[in-house]
A = this chain, B = another copy of it.
Amino acid sequence: MIEDKNQQRTQLNDLGEFGLIDHLTKNFEAKHKSTIKGIGDDAAVIDNVDKQIVVTTDLLVEGVHFDLSYAPLKHLGYKAVIVNLSDVYAMNAEATQITVSIAVSNRFPLEALEELYSGIETASKVYNVDVVGGDTTSSTSGLLISVTAIGEVKSNDVVYRNGAKPNDLLVVTGDLGGAYMGLQVLEREKEVFKVNPNNQPDLDAYTYIMERQLKPEARKDIVKLLKDMEVKPTAMIDISDGLSSEILHICKASKVGCDLYEDKIPLDPQVISTCEEFNLDSTMIALNGGEDYELLMTVSQDDYPKIKANPNLTVIGFMTEENAGANLVTRAETKVPLQAQGWKNFSD
């Protein structure tokens, strides 16, 4: 929230469309042997020998998905890539290529877009994906980022949402609710800043949850872990809209029910303490907060010995017959039907 008055401002008009995309992507090198041709022709050319490809796309819109008053552009570029890679990993696939398109108004100088693209470049390096195409155009207002991610997977390895069976274990990676509580802290600090711009906030108590919001990671490591453990989930989905919504997606697609145990939901201590501070119920936040980009999967009971000791995986319930419905089993041992709220509605 500190503005450097001396920062360099190069007008986008000075570059033109071709100059801009050349400039922004000049450091991007193809690393995958499947990338036959990247940026610089009418289309990219990819050769995924003997594998199926997966394709997913997401839009991030200023004022809807992010607020530039607290989201640094570098982190935003990183996050725009991560939210798409997360969908690829949720298919049990390896992400290999992305395209990145942006629509941007003239209020952004070139240096701002360089920041954005440096985050995109960092993500592409960390996750080993090639940036193979994209489009830059002007917008009448604000910034919009559209990313398409491509991955590859052997046809026997792909995991859909629709393979869960009754008695399968419901398993989640990492912990939940952090990204949403990070957003609450950032929104509060924004209000404080408006009142007193000289206030220097002490945010040490919130570093983990703020990073979960501003610079999330996608669980590439889990796809490798599952392969190493020789576990193929029966269904998998990434948690972008909240645990509750994602469980219901699997239940609907797989025609099963579910018992989710409240006391098994993994929560970071910072999420619990911040929920107390904001007077929010941490279970509700984990169920509906969204944007955690963890993976939710169902696993056959036969595979329980393989997964039980792994600190990345938490068994939080099991699947039931469809007519039993999708339920939360509370700490008081009552059953409450799960409802899909999704973070967008939740934050209204």
Residues of A within 8 A of B (CB): 16-18, 36-37, 40-48, 52-59, 61-65, 86-88, 90-91, 93, 97, 99, 101-103, 132-135, 137-142, 144, 146, 148-151, 153, 155, 158, 160-162, 236-238, 253, 340, 342, 344-345
Residues of B within 8 A of A36 (CB): 52, 155, 158
Partner of A101, one of B17, B57, B102: B57
A180 nearest CB across to chain B (Å): 17
User: Which B residues touch A57, using CB under 8 A?
Assistant: 99, 101, 133-135, 146, 148
CA distance A289 to B253 in the complex (A): 49
Q: A161-B42, A344-B17 are in contact. Are A132 and B59 (CB under 8 A)?
A: no
B43 near A137 with CB under 8 A, answer no
A164 to chain B, nearest CB (A): 13
How far is the CB of A159 from the nearest CB of chain B, in Å? 9
A142 and B142 contact, CB distance less than 8 A: no
Q: Which of A41, A135, A153 has the most CB of B within 10 A?
A: A41
A91 and B42 contact, CB distance less than 8 A = yes
Using known A-B contacts A17-B342, A342-B17, determine if residue A133 contacts B45 with beta carbons closer than 8 Å. no
Q: Which of A40, A57, A91 has the most CB of B within 10 A?
A: A57
B43 touches A88 (CB 8 A): yes
**Residue numbers in B under 8 Å from A42 (CB-CB):** 56, 86-88, 90-91, 161, 236-238
Cβ–Cβ < 8 Å partners of A142 in chain B: 140-141
Which of B47, B55, B63 contacts A133, CB < 8 Å? Answer: B55
* Most chain B CB inside 10 Å of its own CB: which residue of A40, A141, A146, A237: A146
Residue of B nearest to A235 (CB): B41
A58 in contact with B148 (CB, 8 Å): no
When the two chains form their complex, are residues A41 and B148 in contact, meaning their CB atoms are under 8 A apart? Answer: no
Q: Is the CB of A48 within 8 A of B44?
A: no
CB-CB under 8 A from A253, the residues of chain B are 40-41
B-chain residues with CB within 8 Å of residue A64 when the two chains form the complex: 103, 137-140
Q: Do A54 and B59 touch across chains, with their CB atoms under 8 A apart?
A: no
A65 to B139, CA, bound (A): 10
Q: How far is the CA of A56 from the CA of B61 in the complex (A)?
A: 21
- 5 A-B residue contacts at CB 8 Å? A40-B161, A43-B88, A43-B93, A61-B103, A140-B142
A222 to chain B, nearest CB (A): 13
CB-defined contacts of A91 to chain B, threshold 8 Å? 41-43, 45
A342 neighbours in B (Cβ, 8 Å): 16-17
Most buried by B among A17, A37, A62: A37
Closest Cβ neighbor of A237 among chain B residues: B42
